């Protein structure tokens, strides 16, 4: 979920641009040096092409009997609703059901990842499986988002729109699935390998997953939310990766995005976890710059220097003795 967006200037491209392969050291290159990040390691050897927009297929339809979230028909941008999601026993069961479905859909989508498949084909499969299970694909029509799932390839940090681009050997792709089942959202994502992926990218993905797992392991009633950011940031630092700050975890339940805002970086924010509360944790780590650049489609967010980014996300429930992962298969 977007926290705030600060525009940034042109900088060194780690992926191979079609215009120029020239590498000039810019501000972001210097910050990477200062913060001991790995950017230059990748830029020296990479032959990976920059991600480019493809063609987006027409909007898919949802059968009438499926319950639609309120934001789909409204014109105003949804944003982050105030008030946390804290559930009674019935609400918890609904969250378990939507979390389970989101996890199953994501797992299925992951099996489709291979060279040659387009992200639009992944969107079709995800859309079909969600409606076959009586649920609504939450991204479809959220703030005008045109598709049923987010597919974020290589330097795309998040919110990639499925399109005609075929996956290529060596790509990494985050698939972010959210379903709205019986009035409750379940939100989860994972990053997958397309064919043979080089060691550098594999390690980024591994460490990003570890960050999520470690953050979940410290969750319990009464724990400060800022411990999540510290846990993720400490682990990313240890491996010299950057943590994206503009996109955050969030309360999730009857509303897609609500309080609390869950920061993935070191912070002094106030607020503690509450019994029976549900929220997401969804760290995005990068090899180089942590600063995002948005495409003209107003959704696709890429690293400003074209360096790789990975993400994992779970919806969790705060229980008496810790956290239950609702989006685990
Ligand atoms: N699933 C994303 C999240 O984790 C939100 C996607 S909103 C969309 O918060 F409109 F881009 F789909
Ligand atoms: Co989310
Ligand atoms: Co998500």
Q: Residue 318 has which token pair?
A: 């705060």
Q: Is 4 exposed, middle or buried (0-12, 13-18, 19+ CB in 10 A)?
A: exposed
- In angstroms, what is the span from residue 45 Cα to ligand 3's centroid? 32
- In angstroms, what is the span from residue 26 Cα to ligand 3's centroid? 32
Best CA proximity match to 4, nearest among 79, 75, 81? 79
CA 149 to ligand 1: nearest atom: 12
Say yes or no to pLDDT of 40 above 70: no
Best CA proximity match to 51, nearest among 90, 103, 14? 14
User: Which pLDDT tens digit goes with each residue over 266-295?
Assistant: 999 999 999 999 999 999 999 999 999 999
More confident: 57 or 81: 57
Helix (H) or strand (E) segment spanning residue 317: strand 314-319
More confident: 185 or 11: 185
User: Which pLDDT tens digit goes with each residue over 142-184?
Assistant: 999 999 999 999 999 999 999 999 999 999 999 999 999 999 9
pLDDT at 6: 59
Answer whether 311 contacts ligand 1 (Cβ < 6 A): no
Q: How far is CA 212 from the centre of its chain?
A: 12
pLDDT at 25: 47
CA 280 to ligand 1: nearest atom: 4
User: Which pLDDT tens digit goes with each residue over 89-142?
Assistant: 999 999 999 999 999 999 999 999 999 999 999 999 999 999 999 999 999 999
DSSP 32-64: HHHTT-SHHHHHHH--PBPP---PPPPPPP--T
User: Which pLDDT tens digit goes with each residue over 304-319?
Assistant: 999 999 999 999 999 9
DSSP 231-246: HHHHHHHHTT-EE--S
- pTM of this structure: 0.95
CA 176 to ligand 1: nearest atom: 1
Q: How confident is the model at residue 242 (pLDDT cuts 50, 70, 90)?
A: very high
- In angstroms, what is the span from residue 245 Cα to ligand 3's centroid? 16
- In angstroms, what is the span from residue 25 Cα to ligand 2's centroid? 34
Residue 72 per-residue DSSP state? G
- In angstroms, what is the span from residue 198 Cα to ligand 1's centroid? 28
pLDDT at 46: 63
Ligand at minimal distance from the CA of 189 is 3
Mean pLDDT taken over the chain? 92
Give, for ligand 1, the residue of 2, 80, 145 to mutate: max count of ligand atoms closer than 8 Å to Cβ. Answer: 145
Say yes or no to pLDDT of 207 above 70: yes
The total of other beta-carbon atoms located within 10 Å of residue 241's CB is 26
Answer whether 150 contacts ligand 1 (Cβ < 6 A): yes
DSSP 139-169: TTTGGG--SSSEEEETTEEE-PPP-SPBP-T
86-325 topology per CATH: Creatine Amidinohydrolase (3.90.230)
CB 21 within 8 A of CB 131: no
Neighbours of ion ligand 3 (CB under 5 A): 176, 187, 189, 313
pLDDT at 27: 54
Say yes or no to pLDDT of 302 above 60: yes
pLDDT at 22: 40
């Amino acid at each position: 979920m977007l926290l705030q967006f600060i525009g940034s200037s042109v900088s060194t491209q780690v992926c191979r641009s079609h215009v120029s392969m020239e590498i000039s050291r810019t501000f972001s290159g210097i910050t990477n040096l200062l913060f001991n990040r790995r950017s230059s390691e990748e830029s020296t050897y990479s032959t990976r092409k920059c991600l480019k927009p493809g063609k987006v297929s027409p909007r898919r339809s949802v059968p009438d009997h499926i319950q639609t979230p309120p934001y789909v028909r409204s014109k105003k941008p949804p944003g982050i609703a105030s008030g946390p999601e804290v559930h009674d026993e019935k609400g918890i069961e609904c969250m378990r059901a939507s979390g389970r479905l989101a996890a199953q859909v994501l797992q299925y989508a992951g099996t489709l990842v291979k060279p040659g498949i387009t992200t639009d084909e992944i969107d079709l499969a995800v859309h079909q499986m969600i409606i076959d299970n009586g649920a609504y694909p939450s991204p479809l029509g959220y703030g005008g988002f045109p598709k049923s799932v987010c597919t974020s390839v290589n330097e795309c940090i998040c919110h990639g729109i499925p399109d005609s681009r075929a996956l290529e050997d060596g790509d990494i792709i985050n698939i972010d699935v959210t379903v709205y089942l019986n009035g409750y959202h379940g939100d989860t994502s994972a990053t997958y390998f397309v064919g043979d992926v080089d060691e550098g990218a594999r390690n980024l993905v591994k460490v990003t997953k570890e960050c999520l797992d470690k953050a979940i392991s410290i969750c319990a009633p009464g724990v400060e939310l800022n411990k999540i950011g510290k846990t993720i940031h400490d682990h990313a630092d240890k491996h010299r990766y950057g943590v994206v700050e503009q996109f955050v975890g969030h309360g999730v339940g009857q509303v897609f995005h609500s309080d609390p805002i869950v920061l993935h970086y070191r912070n002094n924010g106030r607020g503690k976890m509450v019994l029976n509360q549900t929220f997401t944790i969804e760290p995005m780590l990068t090899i180089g710059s942590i600063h995002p650049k948005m495409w003209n489609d107003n959704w696709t967010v890429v690293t400003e220097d074209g360096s790789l980014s990975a993400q994992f996300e779970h919806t969790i429930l705060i229980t008496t003795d810790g956290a239950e992962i609702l989006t685990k298969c």
